[in-house]
Amino acid sequence: HWLERRIAEMATIKTSERAEKRYKVPLTLHCDGVEKSVLVSLNDRSEMTYPLLLGRNFLEGEFLVDVQLSQLGR
């Protein structure tokens, strides 16, 4: 789906390779009955395994992450 959103801000994101500037846009995300509006940084993930990564701003207060589990559901 194509969405149009106003750019809320620019952020410098540090990756394993370098620091890069990215646009951030507001989106409303739904996951397991939880709905939250969060700022999402934009990046081309077309060549990556996961099209979207959920960060702390979405998970905080609603989800518990067990870092000992890997590839949940697989």
Task: Name 74's Cβ contacts closer than 8 Å, sequence gap at least 6.
Answer: none
Model pTM score:
0.71
C-beta atoms surrounding 40 within 10 Å: 21
Burial of 58 (0-12, 13-18, 19+ CB in 10 A): buried
Q: Which residues of the chain have pLDDT under 50?
A: none
Predicted pLDDT of residue 19? 94
Phi-psi region of 71 (alpha: psi -120 to 50; beta: other; left: phi over 0): left
Give ∠ CA 66-43-67 in degrees, rounded to 5.
10
